[in-house]
Amino acid sequence: LQNNDCGTGFAEENTSSEEQAMIKTAGNTYLASPNLSDFCGCSPGWSSAFYGAECFDSEVHSYLKNLGKQKSSESQNIDAKKVELEQLLMMETKNYRKTIKFYQKLLQKERRSKGPETKSMLPKLRGQLQEMKSKVQFLELVKKYQMMYAEQWGVESYVLPTVIHNGKADTMDMAPMDESSLLLYYNTEKHQCNNQNGVRVLQAGTPLGLMAYLYSRNAFLEGYVQQFLYTFRYFCTQEEFLQFLLDRISSTLSSASLDPSTSLTKICNRSFYILQAWIEDCYSVDFATNTDLLGTLKEFISSKVASLNGYGERLLSLLEDASARKSGSADLCSGVDKCKEESKEGRKTLHSLCKKLSEDVSRKNFYWKLSKGMGPIAQCQRERLHTGSAVLPKPSCSSFTEESSVSLARADEVGPVLLIECSAQQLCWQLTLLQQEVFNKCHPVHFLNSRALGVKDKCVTVPKAVSAETVSLKVCNLFLSKCIQDQYLLQLLKNADSISTWVAAEIVTCHTTKRQVSLLSKFLLIAKCCYEQRNFATAMQILAGLENLIVRQLPAWKILPAKIAEIMEELKAVEVFLKSDSLCLMEGDRFKSLPTIPSAHVLAMHVQQLETGGFTMTNGAHKWTKLRNIAKVVSQVHAFQENPYTYAPDFKLQSYLRQRITHFKDADISALAADNCANFHQVPAEKHSRKIQDTLRRMKATFQ
């Protein structure tokens, strides 16, 4: 994604010509509503919420402007643009995929034979792959920009009171509204890259004003729509937002003309686009958890829209697809559109290939240098997985506490032996895959209003005896009282707590100090490997287990090798780094090429920090600048989910890890430690006997 200081000015300057180009066909006739083919993939995505107006720079606009032109004198044609862009993206992706496979074959050949010809060819091929990867990512960005068809139905700011007026049933008695009573702006300084004066930026607004601003020109391109979908629950319920959209559709659907320049047509079509974006991005957190909301929407579409507009059938199809995926728990993507999923399937494979390339190029680039200096993890700790696991099928998505084929008794018989025998690299990879299954099910909205769920700034956030269903909303609830909140964050944190407890339990149940030293070393190496691979969730979970009060007092720490013991300080430095800045993992371009799993508890604490303070101004308007910052922070959840880990799953090892975690998830560490003499500082028997004899001798002397 490109960053450009001129992004906001560019959006304002070029929207007029681009809008005219989008709403005209080759025959210069107007469209009554967008084609169903244009309906695919309306959600702006996380990048829109994160980058805002700077998501698309002038290079993207120029490239799209030249697409679909047979001659320089011909006007732009949206259909020609779509066809040419799809062909280019398909061709570049196909070539990139072939080159990646060729690169992997050469890499395997070089590892076997180490021939000079192969070794000299790899750097050149790696450079070509980076160029091809950049080209494909650029074309994907152009495609996302091209799919912003909703901007053609945006209205000017002075029309926004009309948006509210058209949805009112009692319009005759309604007093005229002024924009200043709905929204507050502040002016930015003049852009250096153009001759534009200061640009107005939204500062605050009433709930009605903020909902009406969804209809403003450039609301999609500026990132407002995506930011709104993440944060609207702070000032209105899902039912209120849905009713707002349905009222606008009802009041404009029958009277919308063929001329898209009329306000009624723009309001009607924009309402459908906003509704589609909401379904695509937030179905799992809004509609799937609220059957009444879903029923209201389906009833409205079936009775009032399906017979008059092509949108109706498409929206019902979207809802059916989303419901099927949610019930089957087979799809971890945020989108729910078939067209979008088909295009994402190819990109998912592409992301996997990109990941394999990135692993080879920059696997060793991320490590922490402390005052004493520690290099990256030793090469001997980077053993590869068994080749047999590569041919196994894809693992099913389930939480750590779910039952699998191996019985608990069998896992208990094996004990910690398998942990010691497996390499740190193997255990890191399989724990990362298990963590990814849980993380991919969460949504940015899950991290909002976590205080109301009882999440606090401490290691153990969720009591084991309390289930997610029994947690009551506290007085500190920041959402509206009638707003339904999905509590998946509690499950995510409980899984993290289970892993920390498992780490501590495995160590205190070792019956010899030598075995404890081996296990402490193994967990420290696993945590180091995890944070080097940007799996910060598992790394922090292991750190929490090692910092358990009982574990920290074990005698085994005193005989732990110095280099291994220093890893503990590295982990603490990583924890400080993660807590220092809410966007520290989004800096630079590493998160785009390397998979990342953040610490759920640390991210929730960052959001709580942003939620501190009032959400409204003295006049009652809600602070949009505050809500925009919150949306930017939580958007990184979807950013990380787009780039998954592609390690080969080892189902036998995963099953063993699941059972051990389940076995110890509710364990009392102090009780387990009390049953093991290796957890206490031992005094030699001969020395102890001599002390008793000396004491008795002194006592005898006092009586004589």
> Which DSSP string do the residues of 289-310 spell out, in sequence order?
T-HHHHHHHHHHIIIIITTT-T
Q: Give the range among 72-81, 142-151, 173-182, 220-229 with minimum mean pLDDT.
A: 72-81
Q: State both tokens at 80.
A: 């020609």
Q: Which CATH architecture has domain 422-459+482-675?
A: Orthogonal Bundle (1.10)
Query: Is the pLDDT reported for residue 19 higher than 50?
Result: no
From 427, 478, 436, 467, select the one nearest 660 (Cα to Cα).
427
Q: Which residue has the higher pLDDT, 183 or 193?
A: 183
- Contact in structure between 264 and 256 (CB atoms under 8 Å): yes
Exposure of 700 by Cβ count < 10 A (0-12 exposed, 13-18 middle, 19+ buried)? exposed
Lowest mean pLDDT among 9-13, 555-559, 578-582: 9-13
pLDDT top residue among 385 and 131: 131
Q: What does the pLDDT read at residue 310?
A: 74
pLDDT band for position 485 (cuts 50, 70, 90): very high
Helix (H) or strand (E) holding 583: none
pLDDT at 196: 46
3 state DSSP class of 204: strand
Residues of the chain with pLDDT > 90: what percent?
41
Distance between alpha carbon 407 and the CA centroid of its chain, in Å?
33
Task: Categorize the per-residue pLDDT at 335 as very low, low, confident or very high, splitting at 50, 70 and 90.
Answer: very low
Q: Which of 237-241, 251-255, 404-408 has the lowest mean pLDDT?
A: 404-408
Confidence of residue 192 (pLDDT cuts 50, 70, 90): very low
Name the residue with higher pLDDT: 319 or 170.
319
CB contact burial 648-668 (16+ within 10 A = b; e otherwise): bbbbebbbbbbbbbbbbbebe
Smallest CA-to-CA distance from 635 within 233, 337, 228 is with 228
Q: Map residue 279 onto helix, strand or coil.
A: helix
pLDDT bin (cut points 50, 70, 90) of residue 534 is very high
Quote the pLDDT of residue 475.
53
pLDDT of 317 over the 50 cut: yes
Over pLDDT 70: what percentage of the chain? 69
pLDDT band with cut points at 50, 70 and 90 for residue 162: confident
Tokens linked to 126: 């790696």
User: Is the pLDDT reported for residue 684 higher than 80?
Assistant: no
pLDDT greater than 80 at residue 543: yes
pLDDT at 209: 95
Which DSSP helix (H) or strand (E) runs through 183?
A: strand 183-187
pLDDT above 90 (res 497): yes
d(CA 697, CA 691): 10
> What value does the mean pLDDT take over residues 260-274?
87
So what's the pLDDT on residue 71?
47
Q: What is the DSSP string of 100-156?
A: HHHHHHHHHHHHHH--HHHHHHHHHHHHHHHHHHHHHHHHHHHHHHHT-GGGGG-B-
pLDDT of residue 33: 47
Rg (CA), the chain: 29
For the ranges 8-22, 272-286, 603-617, the lowest mean pLDDT is seen at 8-22
Return the top range by mean pLDDT from 53-57, 113-117, 444-448: 444-448
Name the more confident of 116 and 293.
Answer: 293
pLDDT for residue 219 is more than 80: yes
pLDDT value at position 165?
Answer: 82
Better pLDDT: 334 or 618: 618
| Band (40; pLDDT cuts 50, 70, 90) | low
Extents of the domains making up the chain: 44-67+76-147, 156-167+198-221+237-325, 422-459+482-675
CA distances from 39 to 35, 150, 310, 331, 661 (A): 7, 9, 10, 21, 45
The torsion defined by the Cα of 664, 666, 668 and 669, in degrees rounded to 10, comes to 40
Q: Which of 51-60, 321-330, 398-407, 559-568 has the lowest mean pLDDT?
A: 398-407
Q: Assign 509 to helix, strand or coil.
A: coil
Of 351, 347, 366, 346, the C-alpha closest to 593 is 351
On whether the CB atoms of residues 648 and 389 are closer than 8 A, the answer is yes
Task: Kindly report the average pLDDT of the chain as a whole number.
Answer: 77
Question: Mean pLDDT over residues 494-519, rounded?
Answer: 94
Q: Position of tokens 């299954």?
A: 437
Tokens 């200096």 correspond to: 373
This prediction has a pTM of 0.77
- Segment 392-410 mean pLDDT: 41
